[in-house]
Amino acid sequence: MALAMSSGAGLATFYAAPSAAQEAPATTAPVSPAAPALAGLPDFTQLVEAVGPSVVNIRTTARVNNRNPRLRGMDEDMLEFFRQFGIPVPGQPGQQGEPQQPESRTVPRGVGSGFILSADGYILTNHHVVEDAEDVIVTLTDEREFKAKVIGSDQRTDVALLKIEASGLPAVRIGNIDQLKVGEWVMAIGSPFGLDNSVTAGIVSAKQRDTGEYLPFIQTDVAINPGNSGGPLINLRGEVVGINSQIYSRSGGFMGISFAIPIDEAIHVSDQLKKSGRVVRGRIGVQVGPVSGEIAESLGLENRSTGALVSAVETDSPAQKAGVQAGDIITHYNGTVINRVSDLPRLVGNTAPGSKGTITVFRRGKSLELPVTIEEIKDASSASASDGPAASGEATAKADALGLTVQDLPAAQKQSLGVRGGVLVQAASDAAAQAGIRPGDVVLAVGQTEVLDLASFNAAIRRLDSKRPVSVLVRRDEWAQYVLIRPQK
């Protein structure tokens, strides 16, 4: 499977119920409730006439090097040496009567789509349509061409804002993404394979589809192919609800699944691009992962389908200053439920740096509200790594029910990991080994009980039901994760 970047009147069929005036037979069977009449297929002709003039074709060019391929591996100092002493270089333009050529030239790069956001010439498209382009040429439906300026482009959301010097242009109407429903008819207009103003239609297959990107995409079965990128996804009211961005494909062509950027997210990005040419996002400095149903059940989390498990907290980050710990499950951000892991970076990212927020975490059976100050996200950030020191000869304990041999965590390791307690795993066997625990791991909690030292670990083990699985919070280097240890049968 691969996610690839992409670039008429309807038939009306009606089904009528039998007339109520028809005589019923002498003997009648029980009548079941009548099924609702089908409304038939929509007519897209008026939508195309209304929205079509707002859709543009985008061509881009790129600058390529004219140097002979045989010279590309040659060191520049060596080439300069040849030039200084007039030594002919095989294949070099201008040698042996060849006309001298420029070192680079402009060539066609690709074709995409876009749509007019405002009458004064602002246009929305995809980042990947204009990325690394030398020139961007916009063609309107009336065949006028303009050289566009890239106001700003955001790789994370794949949104770009262009500007052409024109006025009185037919701008699109923006729809409400919250009103978009799965199963609703939608239409796309674009330039698949360079074919201008091509219209395709289908239905919304899913909303908030995670594809490993920053945004929750709209999934449709509208035919989207290379060249459709940046074009609008339109509802039956003639409103733009998304920007066509990606396709699911093994061949590079349409296979029945396509993805669009929700228009509300795109407008949020374009507003920032228009204002400053870049997008500013917030961060709190955590690494998060999903919470499995079994782990949620074992921890007593009421809503087992929500939350983001904190696997690591960056040193000196907003989250660390707020008191967030590895192993916490973030259930809400500013009162909004975290339904899936991708919700948290999206919500935090849309928060202005410097503003205050509230994180609700579930920790050992209790919900805590932690105030946090949002920082600006950086292009590259990394959590500090720690080298686990060798185990010392302190007291150890064997937890036969779990298959763990542990000892008190040395003070130096507590400090380096930034934890106030825990026990160090010396050996893991049986159920613990099957769960993935290995020597050198640090156990921070057993079930709902925090492990501060060997004594608290032993106390937690004694309270376990030997017939039920138990969740164990394990720290490995800078990462923490709950693992479920199942009793041996």
Tell me the backbone φ, ψ of residue 98, rounded to 5 degrees: -70, 140
Q: Tell me, what's the pLDDT at 270?
A: 95
Q: Is the pTM of this model over 0.85?
A: no
Q: Tell me, what's the pLDDT at 212?
A: 56
pLDDT at 193 > cutoff 90: no
CA distance 254 to 190: 14
Q: Tell me, what's the pLDDT at 346?
A: 86
Token readout for 47 is: 């939508």
> Could you tell me the CATH superfamily of domain 282-376?
PDZ domain (2.30.42.10)
40 in a labelled binding site: no
What is the location of CATH 2.40.10.10 in the chain?
A: 173-276
Q: Which of the residues 7, 54, 128, 191 is marked catalytic?
A: 128
With bands split at pLDDT 50, 70 and 90, how would you rate the model's confidence at 459? confident
With bands split at pLDDT 50, 70 and 90, how would you rate the model's confidence at 7? very low
Count of CB atoms situated within 10 Å of the CB of 327: 24
Task: Give the CATH class of 173-276.
Answer: mainly beta
171 neighbors 119 (Cβ within 8 angstroms): yes
Token readout for 315 is: 């040193």
Can you point out the beta strands (E) in 257-386?
A: 258-262, 282-283, 286-289, 308-313, 329-333, 336-337, 356-363, 366-373, 375-376
268 is catalytic: no
Average pLDDT of the chain, as a whole number: 79
CA distance 437 to 481: 10
Q: Which of the residues 54, 229, 258, 298 is marked catalytic?
A: 229
Q: Greatest CA separation found in the chain?
A: 113
416 in a labelled binding site: no
Q: Which of the residues 158, 328, 343, 408 is marked catalytic?
A: 158
Q: Is the dihedral of CA 80, 81, 85, 86 positive or negative?
A: negative
126 in a labelled binding site: no
332 is catalytic: no
Q: Tell me, what's the pLDDT at 293?
A: 78
What is the location of CATH 2.30.42.10 in the chain?
A: 282-376, 396-485
Question: Regarding the domain delimited by 396-485, which CATH topology (the fold level of the hierarchy) does it fall under?
Answer: Pdz3 Domain (2.30.42)
Residue corresponding to tokens 């920790």: 363
252 in a labelled binding site: no
Tell me the backbone φ, ψ of residue 448, rounded to 5 degrees: -95, 5
With bands split at pLDDT 50, 70 and 90, how would you rate the model's confidence at 79? low
191 in a labelled binding site: no
Count of CB atoms situated within 10 Å of the CB of 227: 24
394-401 long-range CB contacts below 8 Å, 24 or more apart?
Answer: 395/454, 396/426, 396/454, 397/423, 397/454, 397/457, 397/458, 399/432, 399/457, 399/458, 399/461, 401/431, 401/461, 401/464, 401/466, 401/487
With bands split at pLDDT 50, 70 and 90, how would you rate the model's confidence at 230? very high
Q: Please write the tens of the pLDDT for every residue from 439-450.
A: 888 888 887 788
